[in-house]
């Protein structure tokens, strides 16, 4: 029983040392591995902003269409009621 715990600790320690010794394996994001001044960083940031803005733009576009359709129907009801 004790032998398995020591083996697991040794394997975990070895893996931690390997990850700490090789910085490329430890990078968690696409930006960490880029050299300073690389144009890919700007492209990555722009794509993230686009992906964040897309749902809001879609929501407001659909909301705007619904609002204008509603306003048109209210105006048509009002005009038809005044003609009677």
pLDDT one-digit tens code per residue, 16-70? 888 777 766 555 666 766 777 778 878 888 898 999 999 999 999 999 999 999 9
pTM across the whole model: 0.49
1, pLDDT greater than 60: no
Which residues lie closer than 8 Å to 27 by C-beta, 6 or more apart?
Answer: 33
Binned at pLDDT 50, 70 and 90, residue 79 comes out as confident
CA neighbours within 13 Å on the CB side: how many for 19?
A: 9
């Amino acid at each position: 029983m004790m032998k398995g715990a020591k083996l697991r600790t040794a394997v975990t320690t070895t893996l931690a040392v390997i990850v700490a010794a090789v910085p490329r394996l430890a990078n968690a994001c696409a930006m960490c591995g880029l050299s300073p001044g690389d144009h890919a960083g700007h492209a990555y940031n722009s794509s993230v902003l686009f992906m964040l803005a897309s749902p809001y733009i879609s929501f407001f576009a659909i909301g705007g269409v619904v609002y204008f359709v509603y306003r048109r129907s209210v105006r048509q009801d009002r005009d038809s009621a005044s003609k009677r």
